[in-house]
Amino acid sequence: QAIQAINGYTNMTAEEFTNMVFQKIDVNNDGELTLEEFITGVEKDEDLMELISKSFDLSNVLKVIQNG
């Protein structure tokens, strides 16, 4: 339910969504995801970039860090 709330794809299970994302960004198809593949994959996919940007808004965390 949490994955569906984050991703907005209520017609997909969390596993289906995760597999879809993984297939999009595992560019060398080795079944493993490196940080470089993740970053490159997300940057190339507008939908994933928007999803990641909205889901992981760390602006409040940064404010706390800046204010000590």
Determine contact, residues 47/62, Cβ cutoff 8 Å: no
Q: For position 18, what pLDDT does the model report?
A: 80
Domain residue ranges of the chain, discontinuous segments joined by +: 43-67
Judged against a pLDDT cut of 70, whether residue 1 lies above it is answered with no
Q: For position 45, what pLDDT does the model report?
A: 86
Backbone angles phi, psi at 40, to 5 degrees: -60, -45
Q: For position 31, what pLDDT does the model report?
A: 86
What is the rounded average pLDDT for all residues in the chain? 76
Q: For position 37, what pLDDT does the model report?
A: 87
**Higher-scoring residue by pLDDT: 22, 4:** 22
